[in-house]
Structure 1
Amino acid sequence: MSLNLQEKILRAASELFYSQGIRATGVDAIVKAANTTKMSLYKYFMSKDDLVLAFLHKRDEDFRGWFVDQVDRKADTPKAKLLAVFDVLDEWMATPKFRGCAFINATAEFPLAGNPVLQVSAEFYDHFRRYIADLAEQCGSKSPESLALQLSLLLEGAIVSEQMKRHSGSAEQAKQAAIILIEHSIIDIPDTSLPTSNPGEQQ
């Protein structure tokens, strides 16, 4: 299916923002990549700032949907999915076009509190941690919110490490740390299927 002009502009901008950086990408480069004009760009996006936010919102929607789908394909229990998160991360980071996390990168470029770019980036990780927390709760974590934060920090650290040095093995190392955190966090539930005896009844 062919893209309409608005979609072409957003796709071209998204590719440039992710590969080259937001501040380093000018409107001239975007219109050239989209084979259009500035007039057409500003018809759909009132400013470059609006285009940046559209890029981040689209990235949020597409990436989280893709990521969850990949995890679901690899695992069918909440605990297995918590670990599959790191396998999907590893596969994504191994792709040639990997340039780190778009939201971490955007935050580094727009770090001031209250900046809309920072807010959208923070919302992405809020949603992602909620997804991890839900899985943690389903597998019996004593503190799903804390576990979600711990695992998210491992994921974010692995991404930055891989961005700084490719093929660093950071995802696998993060997964090994995650195994320890998950096992420590899960509540031990007694097996009620086993018969119990009253000490006073023993002969």
Structure 2
Amino acid sequence: MAKQLQERILQAASELFYSQGIKATGVEAIVKMAGTNKMTLYNYFPSKDDLVVAFLRKRDEEFRSWLVGRVNDKASEPKHKLLAIFDVIGEWLDIPEFRGCAFINAAAEFPLEGNPVHQVSTEFYDNFRCYMSDLAKQCGITSADSLALQLSLLVEGAIVSEQMKRHSCVVEQAKLAARILIESHIGNK
């Protein structure tokens, strides 16, 4: 029962943080949506920052699992997986509930690098780059970290562009650029 209540609070916070923004979402709105009270919320999450970090960690786990699963469904070879990332990101950008990347949004709301919210957001993109770097290494690319950074910049740029102007087809352009980058790195191995 207690675990269900904690999960209900986290789910309510997640929905509100993503749809309205972290700083714009008050604890009152979260407890109202979760059907509980502040004392119970603070029993599970000692501060709003703790709740935000829990939201981001949960989002990281769910998104990474979804992304890798979808990429693996679309491709089996590492080179094709690198390109499939853009297809999967494109699927995500097309959902009506898309409000940008929770990690980019959180980092914008908490810009100080020492802030735990900012740190969790940074960790997400570090892990995303490591995933792409591992795929690049499987392709035999010696400059895998460099390629992963370049591809990540394309993904992040597409996400922000789509957030600013919906249905802009930016991910297709990012994928075209990614193909050129991947081919140039494979040619230089």
Partner of 2:129: 129
CA RMSD in angstroms comes to 1.1
1:113 alignment partner, SS class: coil
What amino acid sits opposite 2:77 in the alignment? Answer: T
Structure 1 position 187, deviation (Å): 4.2
TM-score (norm 1): 0.90
CA distance in 2, matches of 1:187, 1:30: 52
Give the aligned partner of residue 21 of structure 1: 21
Return the TM-score normalized by structure 2.
Answer: 0.96
Please tell me whether residue 186 in structure 1 is matched to residue 182 in structure 2: no
Equivalent position SS for 2:155: helix
For the residues of structure 1 that align with 2:39 and 2:117, how far apart are their CA atoms?
24
Higher helix share: 2
- Contact conserved, 1:93 with 1:162, CA < 8 A, in 2? yes
Provide the aligned length of Structure 1 versus Structure 2.
187
2:144 counterpart letter in structure 1: P
Q: Would the aligned equivalents of 1:86 and 1:155 in 2 still touch at CA under 8 Å?
A: yes
Q: State which structure, 1 or 2, has the greater radius of gyration over its C-alpha atoms.
A: 1
Corresponding residue for residue 7 of structure 2: 7
1:118 is paired with a residue whose SS is helix
- State the match for 1:192 in structure 2: none
Q: What letter matches 2:186 in structure 1?
A: I
Moved segments of 4+, more than 4 Å: none
Partner in structure 1 of residue 118 of structure 2: 118
* Counterpart AA for 1:44: Y
Q: Report deviation, 1:119.
A: 0.6
Instruction: Spell out, residue by residue over 1:64-88, the C-alpha distance to the aligned partner (whole angstroms, 9 max, x if none).
Output: 1111000000001000000000000
Partner of 2:108: 108
| Residue of structure 2 in register with 1:84 after alignment | 84
- Measure the CA separation in 1 of the matches of 2:39 and 2:118: 28
Say yes or no: does 1:65 pair with 2:65: yes
1:48 corresponds to: 48
Contact 1:9 1:41 in 2 (8 A): yes
Gaps of 5+ in 1: 190-203
Amino acid in the other structure paired with 1:177: A
Q: Does 1:138 align with 2:143?
A: no
Q: Which residue of 1 aligns with 2:33?
A: 33
The CA deviation at 1:149 is 0.2
Identity %: 71
Q: How far apart, in 2, do the equivalents of 1:111 and 1:126 lie? A: 17
Q: CA deviation at 1:188?
A: 6.9
Cα-to-partner distance string for 1:164-190 (whole Å, 9 max, x where unaligned): 00000011000000000000001478x
Rounded Cα–Cα distance in structure 1 between residues aligned with 2:114 and 2:48: 18
Q: Could you tell me how far apart the structure 2 residues matched to 1:60 and 1:48 are? A: 18
Secondary structure of 2:46's counterpart equals coil
**1:159 aligned to 2:159?**
yes
Equivalent residue number for residue 168 of structure 2: 168
